[in-house]
Structure 1
Amino acid sequence: MKLQCDVEVVNRMLPTFGLKNKGKPSRAVLSIGKQDRSPQNHSLFLLICTAKDRSGSKYKLKENIEKFFTWFVEEGKATVRLKEPAVDICLSKADTSSLKSFLSAARLAHRGSDTDSLPLSSLGPARARDVEKPKKKLSVLSKKDYPLASSFPFSLEQLQVSYCRLTRVDMRMLVLRSLRRLDLSNNHIRKLPATIGDLHCLTELILHNNRLQGFPDALCASTLQTSLQHLDLSQNQLTVLPARFCQLRHLVNLRLDANQLLRLPFHIGRLSKLRFLSAAQNQLSVLPAGFRKLCLENLDLFGNPFTQANALEHTIRLTFPLTLQELTARAVIDLRIPHGPHLVPFQLCDELDFCKVCDCGHACVNAFIQTAVGMNLHLVSHTVVLVDNMGGTEAPVQKHFCSLVCYCEFMDGCVQRDLR
């Protein structure tokens, strides 16, 4: 039985001599085993090997453990208090499941029972690689350097795997629970697994220059909602992003350049923390109505075939009279009535969550009038890369109206402004 973690051995007798423990945790390998392999020998020992002392320090376990402190075992921390010598063995930065198994083995060794069923280890010097400082960062920049026989270090916080011609995400990467930055740029990846959302510490996801054709809806509902801050999907084959993309509300930097995007998510304005947005060289003809709510520092929409905004060109999706479903949906939104999959069908939840909002402030779900008006992009961003070669910074933005009355009032206002 072995465990790799940080260890600090605290001598409880030092304060009686007026001394303080000045140690600090060191990376170590802990082993539980017999001092010799004699069948008659049932005494088990704990061996702690560090980089400075690879031969290790040995401690008897049978009837020698005074107490286990396991309040923070779910965080990979625990303390084993020995009777003789009077030391506390403080464990930290351990894999939770491995730590629990190790503590269970130590309890059995202390009792001296059922030791034959324990997976014991040889009490020998540790290998240098086992006690070296945990690796936090790894870059693999060629296919010949890609690890095939060995796994990625469990302690990694930053991982870059580029130019390796990967066609899919290696599942061994998705168990690295400490991962904060994952860079898979310049590969041939076509699809993202939903299990990326299990990386609850992930703040940066770089997927530049792959062959992605979609962004999974499941990722938008994962723990990435509260962790992901930087997302680079540039130079892929994306045509649309899911409606739930705007649930990634902690995004600060979003790069979508050089795709085939026909539109941006309708409620992109819900990304209240977004400060850098780049969607140059796509197929955008108009921006969604929610775009007005953004508050950016830098915006790049160069190279998109934006249409000329004309409020007279409109699409009418109104029915007279309005359907009962439309009237009910509007009432639920306007009156802020709680709703969810436990109350209404899932499809209706989507319609309610991603409804349009009229200029008058009322909601419209499936019945509305849609048009586009020009907007100076400096209204939503401090710095704007020119939209076209003519030096323009204006782009068409969608508008929706819940009734003919609202649309006519808007048109009257446009006419009056033109007359002035």
Structure 2
Amino acid sequence: MKLQCDVEVINRMLPTFGMKNKGKSSRAVLSIGKHVDSLCLLICTSKDRSGSKYKARPFHLLYRHDHLKENIEKFFTWFVEEGKATVRLKEPAVDICLSKADINGLKNFLSAARLAHRGSNTDTLALSTLAPARARDVEKPKKKLTILSKKDYPLTSNFPYSLEQLQVSYCKLSRVDMRMLSLKALRRLDLSNNHIKTLPSTIGDLTFLTELILHNNHLESLSHALCDSTLQASLQHLDLSQNQLKVLPTRFCQLRELVNLKLDDNKLVQLPFHIGRLTKMRYLSAAHNQLTVLPGDFRKLSLENVDLFGNPFTRANALEHTIHLTFPLTLQELTLRAVVDRRIPYGPHIIPFHLCGELEFWKACDCGRACVSSYIQTAVSMNLHLVSHTVVLVDNMGGTEAPVQRHFCSLVCYCEFMDSCVQRGLR
């Protein structure tokens, strides 16, 4: 049984002599195997691949004990799910601290060590030959890997578990390799310039992922699972440019840590309805889509840079409106408005599922109240400099204005809005 990880050997006797441990860990290979007629624990590092060169240095020692059963005092496994554990030995009085280990490998190693500790029959244990470690086994864990051709793509070997940045481009991938989703330390995943059509729902298992780049693929839709995953708390940069997206999921704006969002060169007919909830977003690029109007929530954004060039925006005219009002308002509409206005918790376990869907698209009237299915809708022209410090021109005529939706909960609110527009026009 072998395990690759970082190892720090702490001598518990040093404080007795007024000395401190150096507190330094090294990449190492741990082995449990037979030496002569005994079970032994072997630690090899890059500086001591044989395990016997620098016996005076704590984290380069070779520990060989005739009775491993009696020599392990205790296992500390509180943080095994983080790839950490500690094995306490009696003689010498040291703590072997393990970190940055593959979680499954660490569990298997500790299981074998426990069996040895209990004095189990050695024939049932997965023992290793206590031999010097290979240079590649004690190298520092690989953090970054870039693959730019299909011939370099690993088919038989796994990706290094320690990867924090992975780029796989120009490999004609039609789907996301599930082996990538087991890289728990991954922070940046670049799958640009492939043929990916869908994303697996389990991509949210990458709990530390801050950058996801899917530029120039064949994506036609995103699943709700992506927006409901742990990516809500980690994802900051998302590049979906040059795909085939027409709409984004209704829950897309739950990715509230987003800072940079790229949607260029898709087929989007609308931006997320509640885009204003992306309060941390500073860079938005959605050039060359099919946008005709921006959602009303767009006015809540506070951006550093926005690029909406090349969209067929309509000419805004507040007099042109769509009426979805019913007179009088239905009991359902009144109830749904009350749920939003009073912030009453709801869910499919409380109200019918289809009503939950309608509540996802509630609109805010100028008066501050909500409307759900009954409203008046129009569009007004807004200078994008009101929401962004830097604005890329919307068209070839040098314009920086775009139409933004407005909703009104009643005819009274709409008339008041029109009166204010007339007054501003008179001024």
TM-score, normalised relative to structure 2: 0.94
Q: SS at 1:370's partner residue?
A: strand
C-alpha deviation, 1:279, in angstroms:
0.5
**AA partner of residue 330 (structure 2):** T
C-alpha deviation, 1:11, in angstroms:
2.6
Paired with 1:16 and 1:334, the residues of 2 have a C-alpha distance of 66
**AA partner of residue 191 (structure 1):** T
Residue 200 of structure 2 corresponds to residue 205 of structure 1: no
Select which of 50, 53, 56 maps to 1:55.
Answer: 50
Paired with 2:401 and 2:118, the residues of 1 have a C-alpha distance of 77
Query: Structure 2 matches for 1:328-407, cutoff 5 A?
Result: 328-407=335-414
- Bigger mean CA offset, 360-369 vs 293-302: 360-369
Paired with 1:190 and 1:322, the residues of 2 have a C-alpha distance of 43
Q: Which residue does 1:139 correspond to in 2?
A: 146
Q: Which residue does 1:101 correspond to in 2?
A: 108
- Bigger mean CA offset, 18-27 vs 285-294: 18-27
Select which of 71, 78, 81 maps to 2:78.
Answer: 71
C-alpha deviation, 1:176, in angstroms:
0.3
C-alpha deviation, 1:272, in angstroms:
0.2
**AA partner of residue 22 (structure 1):** K
Select which of 287, 311, 336 maps to 1:280.
Answer: 287
**AA partner of residue 3 (structure 1):** L
Check conservation: 2:142, 2:163, Cα contact below 8 A. yes
- 1:174-210 Cα shifts (integer Å, max 9, x gaps): 1000000000111111111111111000000001111
Paired with 1:298 and 1:376, the residues of 2 have a C-alpha distance of 13
Query: Structure 2 matches for 1:179-194, cutoff 5 A?
Result: 179-194=186-201
Q: Which residue does 1:325 correspond to in 2?
A: 332
- 1:76-98 Cα shifts (integer Å, max 9, x gaps): 22221212222221111122333
- 1:47-101 Cα shifts (integer Å, max 9, x gaps): 1111111122232212111222233333222221212222221111122333233
Check conservation: 2:250, 2:360, Cα contact below 8 A. no
Alignment gaps of 5+ in structure 2: 52-61
Query: Structure 2 matches for 1:20-99, cutoff 5 A?
Result: 20-22=20-22, 24-36=24-36, 41=37, 43-56=38-51, 57-60=62-65, 61-99=68-106
Paired with 2:225 and 2:77, the residues of 1 have a C-alpha distance of 35
C-alpha deviation, 1:310, in angstroms:
0.4
**AA partner of residue 28 (structure 2):** A
Paired residues, what number? Answer: 415
C-alpha deviation, 1:406, in angstroms:
1.1
Alignment gaps of 5+ in structure 1: none
C-alpha deviation, 1:102, in angstroms:
1.9
Select which of 295, 301, 321 maps to 2:302.
Answer: 295
C-alpha deviation, 1:23, in angstroms:
5.5
C-alpha deviation, 1:345, in angstroms:
2.4
C-alpha deviation, 1:354, in angstroms:
2.8
Q: Which residue does 1:266 correspond to in 2?
A: 273
Closer/same/farther in 2, CA of residues 17 and 333 from structure 1, 3 Å limit: closer
TM-score, normalised relative to structure 1: 0.95
- 1:78-136 Cα shifts (integer Å, max 9, x gaps): 22121222222111112233323322321221221243322111211222211110000
Query: Structure 2 matches for 1:230-241, cutoff 5 A?
Result: 230-241=237-248
RMSD over equivalenced CA pairs, Å: 1.4
**AA partner of residue 6 (structure 2):** D
Paired with 2:185 and 2:222, the residues of 1 have a C-alpha distance of 23
Q: SS at 2:70's partner residue?
A: coil
Query: Structure 2 matches for 1:169-184, cutoff 5 A?
Result: 169-184=176-191
Displacement over 4 Å in runs of 4+: none
- 1:1-30 Cα shifts (integer Å, max 9, x gaps): 221111112233334444433361111111
C-alpha deviation, 1:350, in angstroms:
2.7
- 1:280-318 Cα shifts (integer Å, max 9, x gaps): 111111000000000000011111111100011111111
Paired with 1:90 and 1:269, the residues of 2 have a C-alpha distance of 47
Q: SS at 1:224's partner residue?
A: helix
**AA partner of residue 47 (structure 1):** L
Q: SS at 2:63's partner residue?
A: strand
